[in-house]
Amino acid sequence: MQLLSNEEHSAARRFMISSAVWLCVATIFGLISAIQLFAPDAIRNIPWLVFGRTRPVHTNSVLFGFVPMGLVGAGLYTVPTLLRTRLYGERLANLAMWLWNAALLGAMLTLPAGQTQGREYTEWIFPVKLPFFASLLLLLYSMVNTVLRRHEKVLYASVWYLTGAVLWTAMLYPLGNVMWHPRTGALTGTVDAIWAWWYGHNIFGLFLTPLAIGMAYYIIPRIARAPLYSHTLSLIGFWTLLAIYTHIGTHHLLQAPVPTWLKTISVVDSIAMLVPVLTALVNLWLTTKGRLGNFTQSASGKFVFTGLVWYLITCVQGPMQSLPSVQTYTHFNNWVIGHAHIATLGFSGFISLGAVWYVLPLATKRRLYSENLVNLQFWLILVGITGFFVVLTTAGLIQGASWFNGDTVYKALPLIGPYMGLRAMFGLLIITGAFVGLYAMIMTLRRGSALPQDEGNTPSEGLT
């Protein structure tokens, strides 16, 4: 095996394999963190396993490991396929994959050791951030040159979203991480809080979201065997996402001493996010009209379609909880944690899994080893994330009502103890799903039967 292979789709395959591995890592550390929320003394005298260290390992494994690596891997197959050309710089894309994994491994070693810059989603110390940023630049170079050297004149929606996600993140990452201050990775005072949440929210909106929507635009029409309902709507959604999402991060700081005009903009644009969200969902769901049966028969289709349902729930709940009157009950409690889980695992995570299971056979020329195993993973993770959402939302409302009525934090904690136990139990389902998926992927690579040469080879099949 060549580390910097020039074999077609090798980088795509390796990114998708990495995604499956990091999902297992993320869920293990998530369970360790969840156990400590209802049994704080369960893990004693092991500094690298305390909640304050396992929690950032969990979040970073999901946000920078499992979800984007699956979507980027699928995208590295999708973009050149749609453009009817080979990926430019396959070796560069493989180097990007190794650098990305090196950064994640560095984070997994330094965060449990207490080496952190202490800002949400920017916890990695400076030496760990460098290979990740280099990986983004290599991917950007590879994808842009693929677009420039394309044989297909029309840029389909997926190409816009997937290339845009890499471009925006390559611009966003050094700014949000304040990389010109390598020692602290931060500005000072309230300005840093504004800056950090501008970055933190855009990791979801300009990184995970366009990657997920880009893959949905590729997979939904192909499984539906129907043309995309409207290419115009897809581009309206693309540009309104960029125009609106960048201004909403301050809705996390409505109780902070932040300028009122900035708070107002963040709330107004949070509500306005319904425009790009509903534009994408209406476009994709009208594409499936009369063809939903195709998705019940496809393991990958179930993942992607369910991810879009979670996207609707997420993006109705998000604008609602940006309102000051709603935040009175929901801010700083488990309601927000429930929302974060359905945004990351429910929406982009489900689409990432669906994209991997759809693209993997095409990129490897092997059929899935077992559709039943993929379906099992779907139901395990769906039940787990649904349980998470219900349990955490309920616990959050209990906390919010308790604090609103003047109770202290220590009086509210016993009320949510049972819910934290339920959270860990649902987490076991998600962990099981993660390892079932990894096993199914390994067996597909080793024992999957050969895919016929003409199966799934038409780049625009179902898109136009």
Structure token digits, residue 320? 């609602």
Q: Measuring CA to CA, how many Å separate 147 from each of 152, 240, 425, 443?
A: 9, 22, 46, 34
**Per-residue model confidence (pLDDT) at position 43:** 86
Q: Tell me the C-alpha distance between 139 and 376, whole Å.
A: 33
Structure tokens at 280: 């994408």
Helical segments of 342-408, H only: 350-364, 371-404
Question: What are the distances in angstroms from CA 391 to CA 95, 327, 384, 385?
Answer: 41, 19, 10, 10
* Domain assignment of residue 462, yes or no: no
Q: Which amino acid is at 419?
A: Y
**Residue 27's CB: how many other CB atoms inside 10 A?**
27
- For residue range 317-369, what is the model confidence (pLDDT) as tens digits? 999 999 999 998 898 899 999 999 999 999 999 999 999 999 999 999 999 99
One-letter amino acid of 180: W
**pLDDT digits over 74-123, tens only?**
999 999 999 999 999 999 999 999 999 999 999 999 999 999 999 999 99
Q: What is the pLDDT of residue 179?
A: 96
**3-state secondary structure (DSSP) of residue 450:** strand
Q: Is residue 84 in a domain?
A: yes
Cα–Cα dist 286/298, whole Å: 18
| Degrees to nearest 5, angle at CA 169 with 165 and 174 | 170
CATH of residue 173? 1.20.210.10
Tally of domains within the chain = 1
Could you give the C-alpha distances from 425 to 9, 252, 375, in angstroms and in order?
38, 29, 20
Rounded CA-CA distance 416/108 in Å is: 30
Task: Write the DSSP assignment of 286-326 as a string of letters.
Answer: HHTTT-THHHHT-HHHHHHHHHHHHHHHHHHHHHHHTSHHH
Alpha-carbon distance 239 to 271, whole Å?
A: 16
**Tokens found for residue 353:** 């899994």
With tokens 């020692």, the residue in question is 183
Beta bridge partners of 450: 366
Range of the domain at 364: 10-447
Q: Is residue 464 part of a domain?
A: no
First to last CA, the chain: 38
pLDDT of residue 42: 86
In a domain, 460, yes or no: no
- Would you say residue 298 lies in a domain? yes
Q: Where are the alpha helices (DSSP H) in 39-179?
A: 51-61, 67-82, 90-110, 126-148, 157-176
Is 130 part of a structural domain of the chain?
yes
C-alpha of 313 from chain center: 16
- 3-state SS, residue 104: helix
Phi, psi for 450 (deg, rounded to 5) = -65, 140
What is d(CA 348, CA 355) in angstroms, rounded to the nearest whole number? 10
Q: Are 333 and 396 in contact (CB under 8 A)?
A: yes
Long-range contacts (CB closer than 8 Å, 24 or more residues apart) made by 300-303: 300/219, 300/223, 300/354, 300/355, 300/356, 300/357, 300/358, 300/374, 301/219, 301/223, 301/354, 301/358, 302/354, 302/375, 302/378, 303/350, 303/351, 303/353, 303/354, 303/357, 303/378
Q: Considering only CA atoms, which of 65, 74, 203, 211 is closest in space to residue 135?
A: 65
Q: Is 315 inside a domain boundary?
A: yes
Query: How many CB atoms neighbour CB 42 within 10 A?
Result: 10
Identify whether the C-beta of residue 368 lies closer than 8 Å to the C-beta of residue 357.
Answer: yes
453 in a domain, yes or no? Answer: no
Number of CB atoms found within 10 A of residue 454's CB: 7
pLDDT (0 to 100) of residue 457: 55
- CA 362 to CA 364: how far, in whole Å? 6
Query: How big is the CA angle at 345 (ends 343 and 351), to the nearest 5 degrees?
Result: 95
- pTM of the complete model: 0.96
Per-residue pLDDT of the chain (464 residues; tens, 9 = 90+): 689 999 999 999 999 999 999 999 999 999 999 999 989 888 878 999 999 999 999 999 999 999 999 999 999 999 999 999 999 999 999 999 999 999 999 999 999 999 999 999 999 999 999 999 999 999 999 999 999 999 999 999 999 999 999 999 999 999 999 999 999 999 999 999 999 999 999 999 999 999 999 999 999 999 999 999 999 999 999 999 999 999 999 999 998 999 999 999 999 999 999 999 999 999 999 999 999 999 999 999 999 999 999 999 999 999 999 999 999 889 889 999 999 999 999 999 999 999 999 999 999 999 999 999 999 999 999 999 999 999 999 999 999 999 888 888 888 889 999 999 999 999 999 999 999 999 999 999 999 898 876 665 555 555 65
Map residue 413 onto helix, strand or coil.
Answer: helix
